[in-house]
Amino acid sequence: MDMLMFELSKNTTKPLYEQLYTGIKSAIMSKQIEVGTKLPSKKKLADFLNISQTTIEVAYAQLMAEGFIVSKPRIGFYVEDIDELPFIETEQAEWPVEDTDEKTFRFDFHPGKIDTDSFPFSLWRRYAKDLYDRPSKNLLQSGEPQGEYTLRTEIAKYLYQSRGIVCKPEQIVIGSGTEQLLPMILRLLENDSRFALENPGYSAIPRNQLQNIAIPIPVDEDGLIVDELEKTNANVVYITPSHQFPTGAVLSATRRTQLLHWAAKAENRYIIEDDYDSEFRYTGKPIPALQGMDQNNKVIYMSTFSKSLMPSLRVAYFVLPSTLLKKYKETFSNYSATVPRFDQHIVASFMRDGNFSKHLNRMRKIYRKKLDKLTHIFKTYYPEVIITGDQAGMHILISIPSPISEDQLIKVAAESSIAIYPLSAYLLKPIEYKYPTFLLGFGGIPLEKIEEGIHQLMQCWGIAQ
């Protein structure tokens, strides 16, 4: 072939080898150099272009690496057939730069935020460091679809000790959040199921998808009103009995029994018990899980590490009654676990060594202090604000006797860089409340900032001290 003629400039920041590589590549792509053509030897091209052989060598190596040319030993370099290129190159600078920063507020009262100052980073790092090493190389392969057996064993032990739940690791399914697991449970129970949900309540499933299929059941200070459930034709109910989300009510003993009786009355009836933040109860006796009281294999228990460890971990689980295991295996035999195996092992080791219980004890004290501070400030300075749901968890409800609408209150708070979340966002069916009511999550606000946060919020709402 004719010698390759390229304009190489020494006056740009682009190195010579890159200019040469780009030149040859474009010539091949535009078919100026045909497939099968032999390229000049490195020496000849170096002499011709008056540049070093090393520059040619680097450019050819790059072209070889990308499959544009092949080297035939002792014969030379040939242009390869490259029909379809797998990608189109663009100048990097052309990509729009997205603003990916999280929106930050001076005070964010989101109920899902945890205390990030107390996380045992060095301990966690030690487990991670030990694990990411050759002896754990088998963890690079896919694991068990239900989740790592070792983590399921630790969860089973923990559930027995702390929640009175008797189950085998075989009954546990681990997944990357309540959000991911709840749809799996619904699929498992699908055949003509009619779902009842607490109203107000948590929903991992987008409300617009549920609107037509879910039956809202009202909640009062004793939790879900089981009499109302009995009036419907629902056969599956999703419930947060230990700490109703978001009202904070505890399902009374009478209603617990009533609910279990309801479930026992028909073969296709089930209770999905979401025990999401039961670790944080500050007054009274711990409330055992419904699952432990059930004699009829009617309860599908679920919980998450989102509050007890961190929401970003994305580890939650459900416990199936043994009667549903066969159906589970048939329905999900091709599923892969959605939590990375390494993360599962970190959590398992953390639990096995007793660090999870220690962490919970520590966090319970921290959240309790925050809650005490919060309620003290309201009682002392703003007695007209009505507080409910302050027995457990990481948020309370506040009702504001204010003539201003809920939307307006959210807006003025946002203008003062305060994020606040209305109860109305958790309604499946509208309910008229006497006063605008909000969830006030305190988990993510440092203890020493709580007082300032509340004063600022009340000030922007025009509530005087």
Ligand X SMILES: Cc1ncc(COP(=O)(O)O)c(C=O)c1O
Residue 306 near ligand X by CB under 6 A? yes
Closest distance between ligand X and the C-beta of residue 112, in Å? 4
Closest distance between ligand X and the C-beta of residue 312, in Å? 9
Preceding peptide of 246 cis, ω within 30°: yes
Residue 178 near ligand X by CB under 6 A? yes
Bridge pairing between strands 214-220 and 223-224: antiparallel
Residue 19 near ligand X by CB under 6 A? no
Closest distance between ligand X and the C-beta of residue 121, in Å? 20
Site residues for ligand X, 190-219, by CB under 6 A, read 202
Q: How many residues does the chain have?
A: 465
Stretch of 15-23, 174-182, 259-267, 361-369 contacting ligand X, by CB under 6 A? 174-182
> Of 202 and 433, which has the nearer Cβ to ligand X?
202
Site residues for ligand X, 356-415, by CB under 6 A, read none
> Of 146 and 178, which has the nearer Cβ to ligand X?
178
> Of 180 and 375, which has the nearer Cβ to ligand X?
180
Residue 179 near ligand X by CB under 6 A? yes
Stretch of 8-16, 175-183, 214-222, 358-366 contacting ligand X, by CB under 6 A? 175-183
Residue 274 near ligand X by CB under 6 A? yes
Q: Which of 23, 112, 145, 321 binds ligand X (CB under 6 A)?
A: 112
Is 123 within 8 Å of 362 (Cβ atoms)? no
Residue 119 near ligand X by CB under 6 A? no
Residue 235 near ligand X by CB under 6 A? no
> Of 241 and 453, which has the nearer Cβ to ligand X?
241
Residue 21 near ligand X by CB under 6 A? no
Q: What is the dihedral of CA 128, 129, 135, 141, to 10 degrees?
A: 40
CA 409 to chain centre: 29
Q: Which of 316, 394, 410, 413 binds ligand X (CB under 6 A)?
A: 316
Residue nearest to ligand X (CB): 177
Stretch of 125-133, 173-181, 322-330, 453-461 contacting ligand X, by CB under 6 A? 173-181
DSSP structural state of residue 83: -
DSSP structural state of residue 103: P
d(CA 291, CA 271): 9
> Of 299 and 316, which has the nearer Cβ to ligand X?
316
Q: Which of 120, 183, 218, 311 binds ligand X (CB under 6 A)?
A: 311
Residues 6+ away with beta carbon under 8 Å from 427: 199, 200, 216
Give the pair of three-digit tokens for residue 114.
């945890």
Burial 406-440 (b: 16+ CB within 10 A, else e): beebbebbeeeebbbbbbeebebeeeeeeebbbbb
Is 377 within 8 Å of 370 (Cβ atoms)? no
Stretch of 163-171, 177-185, 248-256, 441-449 contacting ligand X, by CB under 6 A? 177-185
Residues 6+ away with beta carbon under 8 Å from 154: 347, 348, 351, 352
C-alpha count within 13 angstroms, C-beta hemisphere, residue 100: 3
Preceding peptide of 200 cis, ω within 30°: yes
Binding region for ligand X (CB under 6 A): 112, 177-179, 202, 240, 245, 274, 276, 304, 306, 311, 316
